[in-house]
Amino acid sequence: MSTAHPATTSPPRVAVVTGTGLAVPGLTLPDELLGTVRDGGFDPVTGLVGRDLRHKDRASRLALRAAAPALRDAGLLDGDGYTGPGDTTAVVVSTNVGILENVCSFADTIARDTVLGLSPLGLPQTSSNVIAGSVAMAHGLRGPNVTLCNGPTSGLDALYWARALIVTGRAETAVVIGVEPAGDIVTKLLGTPALDGAVALVLESAAGAAERGATVRATVAAAPARRTSPVPSPAPEA
């Protein structure tokens, strides 16, 4: 006679923030977004140059400069490179005007010189996912890779999808980056200059963070359900 054993279920996976970084003009550390600004903050003129940034568009350069300190803050980057699980680390980018200057520049070149005037080195910069791809290739991150370009909620949506990747087991770690580069074309479209900066967060599973002794900055909760007003019933006929 066999004895039935109760089914065992694993505890739900939780996503936590373990690293922050930014590349915003005039700022040095993320706490300056809400507090006192230190001297000697990020300067795009000197901060967006270097061999590692050659042939990259401005949005990708900003994203790379924000991702590195975020990974370092999370304890996942040292002198030898990324120390986390590359195969299960995702990159989720939020941007709405990230490649606008690139696309318009290519369109102007085609109108002026036909396709014969295009440079193959710049063609990848017309892909909306070039930013996430640049960060992934720079650090050997081979997990899910996606860019969101869906208006004002894009940044929060990026956090939502990064959390979803972690709690469903699709990724153990996720680098989330919000980036909006400035430029003449962007200013013309928006009617005002863009931020011209980037902010990055590192999310990972709570179990993974605990296993390696990482400092947890925050827990990313599920998106709250939207409340809808009930449709009023028609008034009874007299």
pLDDT in tens, 41-73: 898 888 888 888 887 888 999 999 999 999 999
Q: How far is CA 134 from CA 89, 128, 182, in A?
A: 14, 11, 19
* Mean pLDDT (the chain, rounded): 85
pLDDT digits (tens, 9 = 90+) for 128-165: 788 999 999 999 999 999 999 888 888 999 999 999 99
Can you read off the two tokens belonging to residue 171? 């990724």
pLDDT digits (tens, 9 = 90+) for 197-231: 999 999 999 999 999 999 999 999 876 444 444 54
41 against 120, higher pLDDT = 41
pTM above 0.85, yes or no: no
pLDDT digits (tens, 9 = 90+) for 156-185: 999 999 999 999 999 999 999 999 988 877
Give residues with Cβ within 8 angstroms of 84, minimum separation 6. 71, 76, 172, 173, 204
pLDDT category of residue 9 using cuts at 50, 70 and 90: low
Q: Nearest to residue 173, comparing CAs of 202, 199, 146?
A: 202
92 against 189, higher pLDDT = 92
Q: What is the pLDDT of residue 211?
A: 94
**Which residue(s) pair with 20 in the sheet?**
201
13 burial level (CB within 10 Å; 0-12, 13-18, 19+) = middle
Terminal Cα distance for the chain, rounded: 69
Q: How far is CA 167 from CA 84, 136, 213, 215, 224, in A?
A: 18, 21, 19, 19, 16
pLDDT digits (tens, 9 = 90+) for 86-103: 999 999 999 988 777 777
Q: pLDDT over 90 for what percent of the chain? A: 47
